[in-house]
């Protein structure tokens, strides 16, 4: 009975597989940052991503937030609903497309953004501590290339492409 398993040299070693490793690194970052957001501000990662996008770009639609943060529309919707209930954001009508509304930070939402940004930047500094500036520049360049390539593959990848 043949199992059609790949030869030993063709096995996938998950711990060395780049997409898996990137996911693990992202998971560590999310968990560590999520603890900060939850303990200090009582918000989760999706809520923080909404606040961060609004803090950086100003008034946006849910669709904009989803595209910028790579979050599914249902996750964005839940986060927006929770933040609106807590008074951190407001919604206003989009007169050109009544199916969606514009979302903006309220004063309390802007205060949370202003408090979290230094914590997030300090976390980033601690995480990259010990890396030489040139190593960081190379890493950021490679990460940008991988991000752009991933964006392309996510939209066009088919199993038979090689």
What token pair was written down for 89? 């954001």
CATH number of residue 96's parent domain: 1.10.10.10
Q: Indicate left, alpha or beta for 35 from its phi (over 0: left) and psi (-120 to 50: alpha).
A: alpha
Query: pLDDT digits over 115-152, tens only?
Result: 999 999 999 999 999 999 999 999 999 999 999 999 88
Instruction: Give the per-residue pLDDT at 127.
Output: 94
Q: Is residue 81 part of a domain?
A: yes
Q: Is residue 86 part of a domain?
A: yes
Instruction: Give the per-residue pLDDT at 157.
Output: 58
Q: Is residue 85 part of a domain?
A: yes
Q: Is residue 3 part of a domain?
A: no
Instruction: Give the per-residue pLDDT at 111.
Output: 97
| Tally of domains in the chain | 1
Q: Is residue 53 part of a domain?
A: yes
Residues in the chain predicted with pLDDT less than 70, given as ranges, are: 1-3, 5-8, 156-162
Strand residue runs (E) in 15-161: 60-61, 89-93, 101-105
Nearest 10 degrees: Cα torsion 109, 112, 117, 122: -160
What's the domain range around 24?
A: 14-153
Instruction: Give the per-residue pLDDT at 11.
Output: 86
**Which of 26, 12, 11 shows the shortest CA–CA distance to 146?**
26
Q: Is residue 2 part of a domain?
A: no
Instruction: Give the per-residue pLDDT at 159.
Output: 53
pTM: 0.82
Strands 89-93 and 101-105, by their bridges, are antiparallel
Q: Is residue 60 part of a domain?
A: yes
Contact 103, 89 (CB under 8 A): yes
């Amino acid at each position: 009975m043949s199992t059609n398993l790949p030869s030993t040299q063709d096995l996938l070693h998950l711990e060395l597989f780049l997409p898996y490793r990137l996911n693990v690194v992202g998971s560590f970052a999310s968990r560590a940052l999520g603890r900060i957001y939850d303990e200090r501000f009582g918000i989760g990662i999706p809520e923080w991503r909404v606040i961060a996008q609004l803090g950086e770009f100003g008034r946006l639609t849910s669709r904009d937030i989803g595209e910028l943060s790579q979050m599914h529309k249902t996750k964005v919707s839940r986060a927006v609903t929770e933040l609106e209930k807590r008074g951190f954001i407001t919604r206003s009508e989009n007169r050109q497309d009544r199916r969606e509304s514009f979302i903006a930070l309220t004063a309390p939402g802007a205060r949370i953004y202003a408090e979290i940004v230094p914590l997030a930047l300090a976390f980033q500094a601690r995480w990259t501590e010990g890396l030489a500036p040139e190593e960081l520049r190379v890493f950021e360049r490679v990460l940008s290339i991988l991000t752009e390539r991933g964006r392309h593959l996510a939209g066009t990848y088919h199993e038979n492409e090689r």
